C-alpha cells in the first residue's frame, strides 16, 4: 500500500513522511521518482535504510532522517544525495542527528562519503551529524558518524578467521596425510635406511657381540627343510641388500651330543626363528628348542624370538609355551600372495637387521703405538 502512494508521480519534487511512526520503508517506496529533490522522514521509528532504497532519486538534494532509531544506512543511498551536482542546484543537505548509529565497518562507506563531501573545495554539503551509540568504546570517546576510526583487524576479522581456518585446516590435512603416509610406508623407509646403511660397508661393520656367530638359529620341522633352504636362506643369505648368516640343524658340525650342539648354536645366535607348522608343534625335538630359546630370552632380556606362522593353527592345538611365544614376540605370517610375501621378507629382514650393523670406531694413534 505504501508503494502505491507515489506511483506514477514522476514529477513529484517534495515528500514529507515525518511523524508517521514508520519503522520500515519498503524497497518500492520511491521507485520512478526521478524528480524528487527533498525527502523529509524525520521523527519516525526507522532503524535501517536498506541498499538501493533511493536508487531512482537522481535529483535528490536534501534528506532529513533525524529523530529516528537508525543504526545503519547503506552507502548506496547517501551517494544519491547531490549526485546531480550543478551550480544551479541549491546546497546539498543531510540531517541524521538523534539516531542510534552503530559506528562499525559497515558504516565506513557513509563516513567516507560525508568526509569527502565536507572536504570539497566548493563546500556544497550542509550536514548535521550524530554521535556513535555503539560500540561502547566509540560512544565513550564521543566519536561521530563522520569521523570515527576503525582498525584493519576489526574490518577484516572474517577474512583473518577464514584464512586462519583454511590455513589451519590445510596444515591439519597435510599433517594427517603425512602421518598416514608415514604409517603406511614407515617400515619401507626403515628398510631402505637399513639397506643404505649396510651398503656403506667401508664405514660399517657387522656387530660381533660376545660369542655371537650367527644372525639367527632356525627351528623348523623336516617337512619345511626345502622351504628353509630354497626360500629362507636364499632371501636372507643371498639377497641383493643385506646378507645374514643363519644356522640350523643340518649345518651343525657333529661333535658331542645333539642337544649340546643345538644348545651351543642357539646360544651363539643373535635371534631365534621358529618356522611354525602343525608338524613343528607336534615335534618333541622342537619343544626342546623352545625351552632353550626361553632360557636364552631370560638371560639376555631382549626381543630375540621371531615366529614365522606357515599355516593357520587353532590355538587349542598349540602348547601353552608356543601360544605364549606367539603372543609376546614378533610374529610374521607366510602367504602365497606375492605382494604379501614381499612385505613378509621386508619385515623379517627388519627384525634381523636390528643391531646388525654398527659404525666403525676410528682408529686412534695411541692404539697403533701400543700394537707396535
pLDDT digits (tens, 9 = 90+) for 216-241: 999 999 999 999 999 999 998 887 77
Residue 26 lies in a domain: yes
Does a structural domain hold residue 241?
Answer: yes
Q: What is the pLDDT of residues 29-80, one digit of tens each?
A: 999 999 999 999 999 999 999 999 999 999 999 999 999 999 999 999 988 8
Q: Are residues 61 and 193 in the same domain?
A: no
pLDDT in tens, 175-201: 898 888 887 777 777 777 777 666 665
Residues 262, 231, single domain; the answer is yes
Does residue 116 carry a pLDDT above 80?
Answer: yes
As a three-state string, the secondary structure of the chain is: CHHHHCCCCCCCCEEECCCCCCCCCCCCCCCCCCCCCEEECCCCCCCEECCCCCCCCCCCCEEECCCCCCCEECHHHHCCCCCCCCCCCCCEEEECCCCCCECCHHHHHHHHHHHHHHCCCCCCEEEECCECCECHHHHHCCCECCCCCCCHHHHCHHHHHHHHHHHHHHHHHHHHHHHHHHHHHHHHHHHHHHHHHHHCCCCEEECCCCCCCEEEEEECCHHHHHHHHHHHHHHHHCCCCCCCCEECHHHCCCCCCHHHHHHHHHHCEEEEEEEECHHHHHCHHHHHHHHHHHHHHHHHCCCCEEEEECCCCCHHHCCHHHHHHHHHCEEEECCCCHHHHHHHHHHHHHHHHCCCEEECCCCCHHHHHHHC
d(CA 98, CA 349): 84
Q: Does any domain span residue 27?
A: yes
Shared domain for 321 and 215, answered yes or no, is yes
Among 83, 118, 151, the domain boundary falls at 151
Residue 129 is part of a domain; what is its CATH number? 3.80.10.10
- For position 316, what pLDDT does the model report? 85
Residues 115 and 27 in one domain: yes
In this structure, are 355 and 288 located in the same domain? yes
Confidence grade of residue 20 (pLDDT, cut at 50, 70, 90): very high
- For residue 84, what are the domain limits? 1-151
pLDDT in tens, 77-111: 988 887 755 444 557 888 999 999 998 888 998 99
Q: Kindly state whether residue 13 falls inside one of the protein's structural domains.
A: yes
Q: What angle do CA 166, 170, 172 make, to 5 degrees?
A: 115
The answer for residues whose C-beta is within 8 angstroms of residue 217's C-beta and 6 or more apart is 246, 247, 248, 265, 266, 269, 271, 272, 273
Residues 213 and 266 occupy one common structural domain: yes
Q: Could you tell me which residue, 19 or 296, shows the higher pLDDT?
A: 19
Cα 246 from Cα 263, distance rounded (Å)? 15
Q: Are residues 132 and 257 in the same domain?
A: no
Report pTM.
0.51
User: Residue 279: inside a domain, yes or no?
Assistant: yes
Q: In the listed set 166, 198, 230, which residue is the last one of a domain according to the structure? A: 198
Give the tens place of pLDDT for each residue, 294-307: 776 666 655 788 99
Residues 322-344 have a mean pLDDT of 87
Torsion from C-alpha of 95, 99, 102, 26, nearest 10 degrees: -80
Measure the CA dihedral 297/300/303/305, to 10°. Answer: -40
As for how many domains the chain has, the answer is 3
In this structure, the answer to whether residues 233 and 188 fall within a common structural domain is no
Question: Which CATH number characterizes residue 313's domain?
Answer: 3.40.50.10140
Task: Decide if 370 is inside a domain.
Answer: no
Taking all residues of the chain, what is their mean pLDDT, rounded to a whole number?
81
Domain-embedded: residue 365:
no
From 151, 186, 210, the end of a domain falls on 151
Same domain, 8 and 134: yes
Residues 180 and 312 in one domain: no
Q: Are residues 125 and 208 in the same domain?
A: no
Inside any domain, residue 372:
no
Instruction: Looking at the structure, tell me whether residues 14 and 162 fall in a common domain.
Output: no
Amino acid at each position: 500500500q505504501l508503494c502505491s502512494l507515489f506511483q506514477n508521480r514522476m514529477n513529484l519534487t517534495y515528500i514529507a513522511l515525518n511523524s508517521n511512526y514508520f519503522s520500515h520503508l519498503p524497497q518500492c517506496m520511491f521507485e520512478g521518482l526521478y524528480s524528487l529533490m527533498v525527502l523529509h522522514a524525520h521523527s519516525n521509528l526507522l532503524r535501517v535504510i536498506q541498499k538501493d532504497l533511493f536508487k531512482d532519486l537522481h535529483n535528490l538534494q536534501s534528506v532529513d532522517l533525524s529523530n529516528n532509531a537508525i543504526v545503519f544506512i547503506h552507502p548506496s543511498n547517501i551517494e544519491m544525495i547531490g549526485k546531480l551536482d550543478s551550480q544551479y542546484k541549491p546546497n546539498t543537505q543531510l540531517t541524521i542527528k538523534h539516531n542510534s548509529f552503530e559506528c562499525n565497518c559497515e558504516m565506513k562507506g557513509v563516513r567516507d562519503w560525508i568526509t569527502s563531501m565536507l572536504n570539497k573545495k566548493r563546500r556544497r554539503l550542509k550536514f548535521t551529524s550524530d554521535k556513535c551509540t555503539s560500540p561502547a568504546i566509540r560512544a565513550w570517546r564521543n566519536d561521530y558518524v563522520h569521523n570515527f576510526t576503525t582498525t584493519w583487524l576489526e574490518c577484516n576479522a572474517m577474512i583473518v578467521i577464514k584464512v586462519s581456518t583454511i590455513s589451519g585446516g590445510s596444515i591439519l590435512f597435510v599433517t594427517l596425510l603425512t602421518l598416514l603416509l608415514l604409517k603406511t610406508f614407515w617400515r619401507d623407509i626403515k628398510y631402505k635406511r637399513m639397506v643404505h646403511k649396510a651398503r656403506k660397508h667401508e664405514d660399517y661393520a657387522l656387530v660381533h657381540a660376545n660369542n655371537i656367530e650367527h644372525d639367527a638359529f632356525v627351528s623348523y620341522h623336516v617337512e619345511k627343510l626345502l622351504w628353509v633352504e630354497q626360500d629362507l636362506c636364499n632371501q636372507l643369505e643371498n639377497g641383493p641388500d643385506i646378507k645374514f648368516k643363519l644356522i640350523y640343524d643340518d649345518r651343525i658340525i657333529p661333535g658331542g651330543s645333539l642337544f649340546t650342539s643345538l644348545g651351543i648354536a642357539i646360544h651363539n645366535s643373535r635371534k631365534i626363528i621358529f618356522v611354525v607348522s602343525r608338524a613343528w608343534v607336534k615335534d618333541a625335538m622342537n619343544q626342546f628348542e623352545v625351552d632353550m630359546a626361553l632360557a636364552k630370552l631370560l638371560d639376555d632380556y631382549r626381543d630375540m624370538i621371531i615366529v614365522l606362522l606357515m599355516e593357520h593353527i587353532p590355538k587349542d592345538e598349540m602348547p601353552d609355551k608356543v601360544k605364549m611365544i606367539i603372543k609376546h614376540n614378533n610374529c610374521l605370517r607366510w602367504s602365497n600372495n606375492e605382494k604379501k610375501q614381499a612385505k613378509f621378507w621386508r619385515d623379517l629382514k627388519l627384525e634381523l637387521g636390528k643391531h646388525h650393523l654398527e659404525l666403525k670406531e676410528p682408529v686412534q694413534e695411541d692404539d697403533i703405538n701400543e700394537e707396535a
